[in-house]
Each structure stands twice: as C-alpha cells, then as structure tokens.
Amino acid sequence: MNLIGKVALITGASRGIGRACALKLAKLGADIAINCSKNKALAEEAANEIKNIGRKAIVIQADVSKQKEVELMVETTIKQLGSLDILINNAGITRDSLLLRMKEDDWIKVLETNLNSVFFTTKAASKYMIRKRQGRIINISSIIGIAGNIGQANYAASKAGIIGFSKSVAKELASRNVLVNVIAPGFIETDMTNALNKQQKEIILSSIPLKRYGKPEDVANLAAFLSSEESSYLTGQVIFVDGGMNM
C-alpha cells in the first residue's frame, strides 16, 4: 500500500486508535493533520513522531462537536498541507450510566461528540473531495453500536447512528468516487478499556473467541487499507475488528 502524496485528517488522534492510524498512514507516505480537543501536548508528541518518519504533520486543536470549529479545521488542513484526501472520524467519548440514572447532559454530550461531529466533518470534507472527484472517509463506530451494552445507551445510539449515516452518505457520494466505510472495533486496548475493573475485563474476554483484546494497530491496519487504492471497490461497508465477537 502506498499513500505518498495523500493528506489525512484524523480526529481524536492524540492517543489510542487515532494516534495509531496517524502513524500507520504516515509510514505509508501520507501527511497528517492531527486533531485534538484538549491534550495538545500529546498531539504534538504524535506530530513529532510523524515528522521523524519524514512526513509533514500539523496539530489542529478543535472541538469537533462545534460546526464552525470543524469547518475551520478542514480549511486549515487544506491550506497548510495542500489537500484533503482521507478523513478518519475517530473522536469519541463515553459517559456511562444506566438509562434511569442517565442525565440529559450525558446523553446530549455523547451524541454531540460522537455523532454530530461525524456529520460536521463529513459535510465539510466532502465538499472538497467532491470537487476533486476522489476521497476516502472512514468512520470509527463500535461493536456496541450493533450489540448494545448495559449502561451505554447513549454511546450505543451514537455508534449505531454512525453506521446508518455512513451508509446513506456512501450512496450519495459514490458517483463522485468518494468512498465511505465504517470500522467497528470490539474491545481494543485503550484508555477506555484500561478503566475497566478486573471482573469486567474477565467477562469481556470470555466473550471474545480470540481470547484477547485488540490493539490500536489492528484498527490502524484496516484504516490504512481503506485509505488506499487497494480498497477502491469498497464503499458503504461495516467491517468489524473484534476478535470474532460479532460472528
């Protein structure tokens, strides 16, 4: 796979899956715009790693739940890096609680960050990609968006929404050679899974046929394929990286 000459914008790329995607695409030749909302220092560390690989990297601090900030982020990417060929929507949060205890703000904030952001970024980026008649949009959902999970009604709704949104947009943009696909990770070793207690981890592991958590690189490898010409006949697909949980 070869991404030389391509520019990728990755939201929530200062750590975890987003950071792994940024590094993987850079190793294949892409220049990277790293979005972060708060921890700019971590984002700068990732950018420096990419620069050491020999690729260009910029950090754009923006709240992707805010439309104006997203539009400026896309404009900045194109202005500073010269193009926008790949968009990976990875930013996401959890605010877990049982439904009867869930606060309205926890519902709204998760939907705004996880789902509204995908609408804003995809709309802004696709305007440019349509003119180029080329682009890749990869939206990170979750197995929870298919299976649901106790205490995560807000998160499940946001991730399920990403899937329906992506399939619709894939149909709209296909004639312009803009491909839209979804990656649905299972349980990946990130800050989110690290917060689980021992009992929770044991229960989850028992439901994974491969009997291990995935790594951010497992998701990044698929993101790289979906970003490349090798995936030119794939659009509107939901691909699980889950160790077999969704079989």
Residue 165: its pLDDT value, please?
98
What is residue 191's predicted lDDT score, i.e. its pLDDT?
Answer: 72
Q: Which two tokens stand for residue 110?
A: 């998760």
pLDDT by residue (tens digit) across 103-140? 999 999 999 999 999 999 999 999 999 999 999 999 99
Distance of CA 246 to the CA centre of its chain: 20
Q: In the prediction, which pLDDT does 159 show?
A: 98
- DSSP state, residue 151: T
78, HSE (Cβ side, Cα atoms, 13 Å):
16
In angstroms, the CA 58 to CA 52 distance is 13
**What's residue 241's pLDDT?**
98
Token pair recorded at residue 39: 């921890």
pLDDT at 247: 85
Indicate if 155 belongs to the active site. yes
Residue listed under structure tokens 């697909």: 237
Strands (E), the chain: 7-10, 31-36, 57-61, 86-89, 135-140, 178-185, 238-241
Q: Alpha carbon of 102 to those of 70, 110, 171: distances in Å?
A: 28, 12, 35
Sheet (strand 86-89) strand order: 57-61, 31-36, 7-10, 86-89, 135-140, 178-185, 238-241
Per-residue pLDDT of 139-153, as tens digits, reads 999 999 999 999 999
The model's pTM is: 0.95
Give the DSSP H or E segment for 165: helix 153-173
Dist CA 72 CA 78 (whole Å): 10
pLDDT at res. 238: 98
Name the stretches of the chain with pLDDT < 70: 192, 195
Which residues face 180 on adjacent strands?
137
The Cα–Cα gap between 21 and 25 comes to: 6
- Those residues whose C-beta lies under 8 Å from the C-beta of residue 200, and which sit 6 or more positions away, are none
Q: Give the pLDDT confidence of 185-203 residue by residue, as tens digits.
A: 999 988 767 767 778 888 8
pLDDT of residue 59: 98
